[in-house]
């Protein structure tokens, strides 16, 4: 109940007239700046792209240290770690330091490999993006089904994947964001476990 009260109070603050005015100012400025044509300055492209790429790796900080995904892709990472019996959180650095620091080192190696591979192969990546979707989607679906089946050698997993994909497609049609649902699947069991532990300690 306290959470709903805090949410309602925060919503009322946002809906205050002077705060709404700032929202409209931001929308107007963003729209105006967005329609301006670019001048081709390299720094104008390099700076935001570098910031975007750095944010991807720093999202691992709350993911690994607190067990809270810093972005929707990190929710997938947490799910993958849990499949292998690895629970992200404060104990990860103590219980599995080799895995943690190995992951950190892989960031450096990965960036170097991306630089080596992307610069000479950029033409191939551009041509790859020109493949029609009607050829690319069936290939992706087949690879996904092969990967899912290889985990447990169970056909039911393939049907489950197709059903989840259909649900995601319906959500996309109705403009529902799949990220909150994914976060709920990942954080739900953790929240339930901590709630049960808190209730036991309070008795």
Q: Is the pTM of this model over 0.95?
A: no
Q: Are residues 111 and 64 in the same domain?
A: yes
Q: Three-state SS string across the chain, please?
A: CHHHHHHHHHHHHHCCHHHHHHHHHHHHHHHHHHHCCCCCCHHHHHHHHHHHHHHHHHCHHHHHHCCCCCCHHHHHHHHHHHHCCCCCCCCHHHHCHHHHHHHHHHHHHHHHHHHHHHHHHHHHHHHHHCCCHHHHHHHHHHHHHHHHHHHHCCHHHHHHHHHHHHHHHHHHHCCCCHHHHHHHHHHHHHHHHHHHHHHHHHC
**Residue 105, domain member (yes or no):** yes
Quick: pLDDT tens for 124-143.
878 887 888 888 888 888 88
Q: Is residue 163 assigned to a domain?
A: yes
Does one domain contain both 173 and 149? yes
Indicate if 91 and 114 belong to the same structural domain.
yes
Note whether 111 and 66 are same-domain residues.
yes
Q: Give the residue numbers spanning the domain of 8.
A: 1-36
Choose the final residue of a domain: 99, 128, 157.
Answer: 128
- Residue with the bigger pLDDT between 45 and 154: it is 154
Residue 197: inside a domain: no
Domain membership of residue 200 (yes or no) is no
Q: Give tens-digit pLDDT for 9-34.
A: 666 766 777 777 877 787 777 777 76
For residue 198, being part of any structural domain is answered with no
Overall number of domains in the chain: 3
């Amino acid at each position: 109940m306290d959470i709903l009260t805090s949410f309602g109070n925060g919503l009322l603050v946002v809906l205050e007239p002077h705060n709404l005015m700032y929202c409209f100012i931001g929308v107007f400025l963003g729209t105006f700046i967005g329609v301006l044509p670019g001048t081709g300055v390299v720094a104008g492209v390099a700076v935001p792209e570098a910031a975007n790429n750095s944010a991807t790796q720093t999202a691992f900080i709350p993911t690994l240290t607190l067990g809270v995904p810093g972005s929707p892709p990190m929710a997938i990472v947490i799910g993958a770690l849990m499949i292998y019996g690895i629970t992200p959180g404060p104990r990860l650095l103590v219980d599995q330091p080799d895995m943690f620091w190995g992951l950190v080192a892989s960031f450096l190696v990965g960036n170097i490999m991306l630089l080596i591979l992307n610069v000479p192969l950029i033409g191939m990546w551009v041509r790859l993006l020109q493949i029609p979707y009607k050829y690319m989607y069936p290939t992706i679906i087949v690879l996904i089904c092969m990967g899912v089946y290889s985990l447990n050698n169970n056909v039911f997993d393939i049907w489950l994947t197709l059903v989840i994909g259909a649900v995601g497609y319906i959500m996309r049609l109705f403009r529902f964001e799949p990220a909150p649902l994914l976060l709920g699947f990942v954080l739900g069991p953790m929240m339930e476990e901590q709630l049960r532990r808190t209730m036991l300690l309070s008795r």
